[in-house]
Amino acid sequence: MNLKIYIDGTFYEQSEAKISVFDHGVLYGDGVFEGIRFYQDRVFRLEEHIDRLWDSAKAIALDIPMSRTALIEATLETIRQNDLHDGYIRLLVTRGIGSLGLSPDSCRRPSVIIIAATIALYPDSLYEKGLTMATCSVRRIPPAALSPRIKSLNYLNNILAKIEAQQAGAAEGVMLNEQGYVGECTGDNLFVVKKGVISTPPINAGILGGITRAVVFELAKQNDIPIKEEDLTRYDILVADECFLTGTAAEVIAAVQLDRRPIGDGRPGPITLKLVEEFRGLTRSTGTPIYQ
């Protein structure tokens, strides 16, 4: 499939979609992005993703060169141009073209890039059986260095942890913060269930404020399932009755093993399965319409 890619107001065929080698997003990872899902002709939680993009941009002193309304319309039009009905959007804002120097002052105008395609982060079998995890020695970047709440183009910290997890034979890696508490996985937020109560690390543990993470809080409250934020350690995962991960690309997926040791009975638990069902129902019944 030859996709049409949005770059700064123009749609290009996939083979012709190019950016400059002097773009500071390429040279330094200087920029921000969002991953957004759409289901059955509706974009899920689009406004929340756009809000987070603006917050990330503001945190790195990057001015997005279009209004929220214009960016939302450009996102929807990118999906329409590709005649897609279910899929994934990668929305990027880079610092733009500049010199080889580190300073962003040489970048005259940020660039906006929108890609709409299909995605399958994990095979269907892992959603049925649950995925395995390994504890990574790579620690999550501390907020004093680079806040994990900024969804920046520099994901090397996460990539190094992902490599470590894969080399350990696991599908995902658990990243600890500098205090030794659980932060998040390489691309997902982490939750545990113990005696019917859901727990997840707090935002100040050094994690991204996930959109799907927030949806789980909503669903738990709607279903009268107790949920709380608290510091977690590797111990809390190992002794949990259930564990699951959340992310835009991953959605909601059970984790059934950590460091080759089963979590609970080693199968997706009832609360996890309930949330998976509820989440899927929500994604297919709500969202911003694409085709009107």
- Convert the pLDDT of each residue in 164-206 to its tens digit: 999 999 999 999 999 999 999 999 999 999 999 999 999 999 8
- Asked whether 148 and 202 are in contact (CB, 8 A), the reply is no
Q: Residues 4, 58, 129, 151: which is the catalytic one?
A: 151
User: Which pair of structure tokens corresponds to residue 10?
Assistant: 């123009």
**β partners of residue 17:** none
pTM score, whole prediction: 0.96
Judge if 109 and 131 occupy the same domain: no
Instruction: Give the Cα separation of 172 and 245 in Å (integer).
Output: 10
The model's pLDDT over 83-127, given as tens digits with 9 standing for 90+, comes to 999 999 999 999 999 999 999 999 999 999 999 999 877 888 899
Judge if 58 and 167 occupy the same domain: no
Domain limits for position 74: 4-117
Question: Is 17's pLDDT higher than 80?
Answer: yes
274 is catalytic: no
In this predicted structure, what is the pLDDT of residue 101? Answer: 95
**Domain-ending residue, one of 100, 117, 134:** 117
**Domain-ending residue, one of 93, 117, 141:** 117
CA distances from 170 to 48, 162, 165, 205 (A): 31, 9, 5, 23
Instruction: Give the Cα separation of 240 and 119 in Å (integer).
Output: 30
User: By C-alpha distance, which of 256, 40, 44, 28 is closest to 154?
Assistant: 28
Mean pLDDT is lowest, of 53-67, 110-124, 211-225, for 110-124
How many other C-beta atoms can be found within 10 angstroms of the C-beta atom of residue 65? 15
Question: Is 1's pLDDT higher than 80?
Answer: no
Instruction: Give the Cα separation of 21 and 27 in Å (integer).
Output: 7
What's the total number of domains in the chain?
2
